[in-house]
């Protein structure tokens, strides 16, 4: 062929992908590779595997319909080497291209592999920037500069200025950058969130679901509830339904948790965004248009845009700025094992069990469930970061390391020592009681901190504060809990710490030695 072999990975399913720019349909071939290595480097939730493979097959079909020559290697191909490098080498032998064109991948380990291709395969390899994000990596690096603290809020303001979202005359609309304080209401009794739209599996998805059940049925997670958009068209339908039906209340109940209400007013758009079925700009444009048309209030629209323009871009910038050392950080010296109940949902703590079971059934939990229930528990208990990261990377349909790692390592368990968050997101049971209805029916009593029936989040919280009191002594944002700790009856503290120790030794033992 002597044209270019253009590589498209499973989370690069955007027609505007940089690797597809300047494509010559007469001479070039687009390569998509289904490989077992990508399904098992973390034991991904079966819904995630099915989502990626089905979306890849739909993307290939759409490219081929446009007259593009597509070489799509299927998982069942008996000659499949089940790794990217092996499949690229086989494709080179099939097509004899003059060069390889790729887009910067989303994970460090894949970039390392790609960087070795030119030498290993003996042809020019171009790795283009991933232009689907709103901030380039160079923009983030410039913003980060020599700053010692990389706070999202300040990055977000730069992004508002750079993109013009929710800006008027150089100032933020509504007179404030952030309406976070208006985003913390619990769900009132009787308010029923609208159901998310349905995307019944078509023939391609059904075939993939069968294959995934056969090959990866042993992974944690159920396939039955699969309902993810697998094409750009479905992703845009999901966005339209969110904007019309859930965005107006997204802001008010962003932090709420309610039993039996897995999705509340959230968008469920992370899988579509992370696979490239939907571009962040499309989501932000639609939200801003809804506000300008008076169809959604500012606290909702600003809150939603902040998640995408702010958090999502920020964690990606941070990941690429700090990797590979970032992943090895363990600032709080956490060494305990991940409790078995992260897989079974049988801890007896209603909040934890409902998040784990929902995660098993849907491959989804919303942000506060991930941060303040399973994340908070792992932080308080001192679970080793590798075990926590591996869990988060395995169990969510939207998990890719560039977005999973900073959220877990930095935001949830403070393993980065404060690069991302100025204080750990540690909370006792009182927070969960305020933001959810779990505690009312829990076998533990959220008002008790020690003794029979005490809520584990309470004694683990005070054990955590006491364990790290010295480390956080100079942190003004930790002054309040530390002052309370100092005033606490020493006998009460000792009782809570003994209970924490016994609980952790039972559920999250330290490694021998």
Residues that bind ligand FAD (CB under 6 A): 266-270, 273-274, 304, 307-308, 311-312, 315, 366-367, 370-371, 375, 392, 396, 398-399, 403-404, 407-408, 411-412
Q: Omega before 324 cis (within 30°)?
A: yes
Q: Which does 349 bind (CB under 5 to 8 A by kind): ligand DLZ, ligand FAD, none?
A: none
Q: Which does 371 bind (CB under 5 to 8 A by kind): ligand FAD, ligand DLZ, none?
A: ligand FAD
Q: Which does 313 bind (CB under 5 to 8 A by kind): ligand FAD, ligand DLZ, none?
A: none
Q: Does 507 bind ligand DLZ (CB under 6 A)?
A: no
Strands 99-103 and 171-172: unpaired
DSSP 102: E
| Interacting residues with ligand DLZ between 397 and 436 (CB under 6 A) | 400
Single out the segment in contact with ligand DLZ by CB under 6 A; choices: 3-11, 319-327, 386-394, 433-441: 3-11
Contacts of 213 (CB under 8 A, 6+ apart): 46, 223
Number of H helices, E strands in the chain: 26, 7
What residue has token string 């968008």? 267
117/392 with CB nearer ligand FAD: 392
Which of 110, 204, 230, 397 contacts ligand DLZ by CB under 6 A?
110
* Helix/strand/coil for 135: coil
* Helix/strand/coil for 209: helix
Q: Which does 105 bind (CB under 5 to 8 A by kind): ligand FAD, ligand DLZ, none?
A: ligand DLZ
Single out the segment in contact with ligand DLZ by CB under 6 A; choices: 38-46, 182-190, 319-327, 329-337: 38-46
CA 71 to chain centre: 30
Q: Does 135 bind ligand DLZ (CB under 6 A)?
A: no
* Neighbour-count burial of 195, counting CB atoms closer than 10 A to its CB (0-12 exposed, 13-18 middle, 19+ buried): exposed
| Cα angle: 489, vertex 490, 492; to 5 degrees | 65
Single out the segment in contact with ligand DLZ by CB under 6 A; choices: 34-42, 58-66, 197-205, 415-423: 34-42
Q: Which does 411 bind (CB under 5 to 8 A by kind): ligand FAD, ligand DLZ, none?
A: ligand FAD
DSSP 371: I
In 3D space, the residue among 453, 439, 355, 427 whose CA is nearest the CA of residue 395 turns out to be 355
Q: Which residues pair with 71 in a beta bridge?
A: 31
Query: Least Å distance between CB 35 and ligand DLZ?
Result: 5
216/342 with CB nearer ligand DLZ: 216
177/220 with CB nearer ligand DLZ: 220
Tokens of 150: 């990389």
Enumerate binding residues for ligand DLZ (CB under 6 A).
9-11, 33-35, 38-39, 44, 49, 52, 105-107, 110, 400
């Amino acid at each position: 062929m002597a044209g270019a072999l253009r590589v498209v990975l499973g989370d690069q399913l955007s027609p505007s992908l940089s690797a597809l720019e300047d494509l010559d349909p007469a001479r070039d071939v687009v390569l998509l590779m289904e490989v077992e290595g990508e399904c098992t480097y973390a034991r991904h939730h079966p819904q995630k595997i099915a989502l990626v493979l089905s979306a890849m097959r739909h993307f290939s079909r759409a490219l081929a319909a446009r007259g593009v020559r597509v070489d799509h290697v299927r998982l069942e191909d008996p000659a499949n080497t089940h790794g990217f490098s092996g499949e690229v080498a086989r494709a080179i032998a099939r097509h004899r291209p003059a060069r390889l064109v790729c887009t910067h991948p989303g994970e460090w380990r894949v970039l390392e592999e790609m960087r070795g291709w030119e030498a290993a395969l003996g042809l020019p390899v171009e790795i283009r920037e991933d232009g689907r994000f709103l901030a380039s990596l160079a923009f983030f690096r410039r913003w980060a500069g020599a700053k010692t603290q990389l706070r999202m809020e300040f990055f977000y303001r730069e992004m508002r200025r750079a993109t013009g979202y929710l800006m008027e005359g150089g100032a933020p609309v509504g007179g404030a950058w952030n309406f976070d304080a208006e985003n913390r209401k619990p769900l009132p009794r009787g308010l029923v969130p609208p159901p998310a739209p349905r995307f019944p599996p078509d023939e391609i998805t059904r075939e993939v679901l069968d294959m995934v059940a056969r090959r990866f049925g042993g992974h944690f997670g159920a396939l039955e509830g699969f309902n993810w958009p697998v094409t750009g068209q479905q992703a845009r339908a999901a966005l339209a339904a969110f904007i019309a039906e859930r965005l107006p209340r997204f802001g008010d109940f962003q932090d709420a948790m309610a039993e039996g209400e897995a999705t509340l007013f959230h968008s469920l758009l992370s899988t579509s965004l992370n696979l490239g079925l939907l571009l962040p700009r499309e989501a932000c444009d639609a939200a801003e248009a809804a506000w300008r048309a008076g169809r959604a209030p500012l606290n909702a629209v600003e809150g939603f845009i902040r998640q995408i323009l702010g958090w999502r871009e920020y964690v990606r910038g941070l990941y690429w700025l700090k990797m590979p050392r970032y992943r090895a950080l363990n600032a709080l010296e956490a060494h305990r094992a991940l409790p078995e109940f992260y897989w079974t949902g049988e801890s007896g703590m209603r909040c934890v069990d409902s998040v784990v079971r929902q995660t098993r059934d849907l491959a989804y939990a919303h942000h506060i469930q991930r941060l303040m229930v399973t994340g908070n528990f792992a932080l308080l208990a001192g679970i080793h970061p590798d075990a926590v990261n591996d869990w988060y990377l395995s169990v969510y349909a939207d998990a890719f390391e560039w977005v999973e790692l900073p959220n877990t390592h930095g935001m949830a368990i403070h393993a980065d020592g404060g690069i991302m968050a100025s204080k750990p997101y540690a909370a006792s049971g009182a927070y969960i009681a305020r933001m959810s209805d779990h505690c009312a029916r829990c076998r533990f009593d959220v008002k008790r901190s020690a003794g029979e029936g005490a809520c584990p989040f309470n004694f683990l919280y005070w054990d955590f504060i006491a364990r790290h009191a010295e480390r956080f002594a100079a942190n003004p944002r930790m002054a309040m809990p530390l002052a309370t700790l100092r005033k606490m009856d020493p006998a009460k503290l000792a009782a809570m710490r003994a209970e924490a120790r016994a609980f952790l030794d039972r559920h999250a033992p330290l490694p021998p030695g």
